[in-house]
Amino acid sequence: MAGPQMTGQRVIVVGAGPAGVRAAEALVAAGLRPLVIDEGRRDGGQIYRRQPEGFTRGYQALYGTEAVRARAAHETFDALKESIDYWPETLVWNVSEGQVWTHRDGIADAVPYAALIVCAGATDRLLPVKGWNLAGCYSLGGAQIALKAQACAIGRKVAFLGTGPLLYLVASQYLKAGANVAAVLDTAPLSARIAALPKLAAQPDLLWTGAKLTLALKRAGVPVLSGVTPIAIEGSPETGVSAVRVRTASGSERAFECDAMGMGWHLRPETQIADLARCAFGFDAKTGHWLPECDEDGRASAPQVYLAGDGARILGARCAEVTGELAAMAALADLGRAIDTDRRRALLSAKAGYRRFADGLAQAFPWRGDLARAVSDDTVVCRCENVTAGTLRASVTVGGATEANRAKAYSRVGMGRCQGRYCGAAGAEIVAEARGCSLEAAGRLRGQAPVKPIGLSTRRAGA
């Protein structure tokens, strides 16, 4: 891998989603040539993921209400390519001593930085449901990638279970693509959304967009249920998913036939890179997340590190563009470059509005940690390592584990390919329940290098 053009003020941007694009744009405008490292094949991140070359679906079909913003982000990045160094399909797997470690095509390289802007985005937050380890169960993000990047559905008849705006967005995208949507099953009660309306009104267009998605699903005859409690995903190891069974808000049981499931309980920030960069973390009681600490501009506690987008706080794609630019301005100011203070104030004001809306989403679509704590002992929690809730509980009650990392060492929860991305949140709830302590006291799984698997045959650049 050819190294980037080095300068005394090399700024590295990790991620080419909405935050990364706007950060790179601000850096180029200030006369710098940043290095943008992206794990994806093309820019756009998850929300604005580009279809592969040769695919011809239009922006409206791919991105719906966000088509204009998606096109703007793509066109901005295309215009930047002559002014940046861009490494797509490249994993940042470690950060140490003022350099990032990258991996691509079996080659590992260490790249020093004067400033590191981490725009790592978010992934689905998941709850274990009995049977969710059957073939045909996907995260909402995985189901969305299948549509955008492979132009296919995850099944012939798909049910969607969880909570949050993404639940309705992905179900609507499947409906629009011609897929058979069996049901949309939301664990959040309708009363929570009504109570959150004053905060959600901070972004009326986004509130109206969500209402229209729900209305379109109902008009198409899709069952849309609120306040459900998952009972089980049914099927067999040989044939995969065949149905999902839930308890409705009224207390009755209902089953919906399906051959695939899309699941997700809002989002969780991708914080592993910030963790490896030795950023301090704090517990956010409103969402149940452990978040890297940073100031309003995105400065982290670790020197030369800046955080933006959903990898810092789940504030949505639109706010990610705002925080990406803010983080770049903070880095520029710390490098001794002049910044537009009026522009900074405007961005901070916009961010405040998005934060209020995000607080409303957290209230409207709450994380159901109680569901994780109540799963039966034979329910698989960690799908990578096939660890059950019973084994995880025993790591506390028999093994004496007092927090999530010790429980991981005893049970192997979080040691698999996903490195706890799928099981970490629910696993901490189960540890807290077994200990009889708060979720905060149960701790968090610490980031470990490599943040994602790299091959044993990987060799150092130049070797």
Query: Domain ranges in the chain?
Result: 11-123+268-361, 126-265, 370-442
Please give the class, per CATH, of domain 126-265: alpha beta
3-state secondary structure of 423: coil
Cα dist. 462→3, 38, 295, 313, 453 in Å? 11, 22, 39, 38, 21
Find out whether 117 and 328 touch, Cβ atoms under 8 Å: yes
Concatenated DSSP letters of 73-133: HHHHHHHHGGGSEEE-S-EEEEEETTEEEEEETTEEEEEE-SEEEE---EEE-----TTTT
In angstroms, rounded to a whole number, what is the distance separating the alpha carbons of residues 282 and 344? 25
Per-residue pLDDT 10s for the chain (463 aa) are: 444 444 457 999 999 999 999 999 999 999 999 999 999 988 988 888 887 777 777 787 777 778 888 899 999 999 999 999 999 999 999 999 899 999 999 999 999 999 999 999 999 999 999 999 999 999 999 999 898 888 889 999 999 999 999 999 999 999 988 999 999 999 999 999 999 999 999 999 999 999 999 999 999 999 999 999 999 999 999 999 999 999 999 999 999 999 999 999 999 999 999 999 999 999 999 999 999 999 999 999 999 999 999 999 999 999 999 999 999 999 999 999 999 999 999 999 999 999 999 999 999 999 999 999 999 999 999 999 999 999 999 999 999 999 999 999 999 999 998 999 999 999 999 999 999 999 999 999 998 899 998 888 899 987 6
In angstroms, rounded to a whole number, what is the distance separating the alpha carbons of residues 338 and 116? 18
Kindly compute the dihedral angle of the four CA atoms of residues 308, 313, 318, 323, in this order, to the nearest 10 degrees: -30
Find out whether 411 and 380 touch, Cβ atoms under 8 Å: no
Find out whether 126 and 138 touch, Cβ atoms under 8 Å: no
3-state secondary structure of 24: helix
- Enter the DSSP assignment of 55: -
Q: Do 11-123+268-361 and 126-265 share a fold?
A: yes
Q: Is 89 left (phi over 0), alpha (psi -120 to 50) or beta?
A: left
At residue 58, the pLDDT reads: 79
Short-list 425, 426, 432, CA closest to 403:
432
**Using N-to-C axis directions, what is the helix angle for 389-397 and 404-411, rounded to 10°?**
110
The fold of 370-442 is Arc Repressor Mutant, subunit A (1.10.10)
At residue 2, the pLDDT reads: 40
Report, at the CATH architecture level, how domain 11-123+268-361 is classified: 3-Layer(bba) Sandwich (3.50)
Strand arrangement, sheet containing 107-112? 91-96, 99-104, 107-112, 459-460
In angstroms, rounded to a whole number, what is the distance separating the alpha carbons of residues 406 and 252? 39
The percent helix, strand, coil of the chain (3-state, each to 5) is 40, 25, 40
At residue 106, the pLDDT reads: 92
Q: Are strands 11-14 and 115-118 parallel, antiparallel or unpaired?
A: parallel
Residue showing tokens 């949507």: 181
Number of helices and strands in the chain (H, E): 16, 23
Residues 6+ apart with CB under 8 A from 241: 131, 134, 135, 136, 137, 155, 233, 234, 235, 258, 259, 260, 261
Residue showing tokens 């997340």: 289
Predicted TM-score (pTM) of the model is 0.93
Q: Is 316 left (phi over 0), alpha (psi -120 to 50) or beta?
A: left
Question: What tokens does 23 get?
Answer: 């950060």
- Which residue type occupies 422? Y
How many Cβ atoms sit within 10 Å of the Cβ of residue 361?
Answer: 25
**Over the stretch 135-184, which tens digit does the pLDDT of each residue have?**
999 999 999 989 888 888 999 999 999 999 999 999 999 998 899 999 99
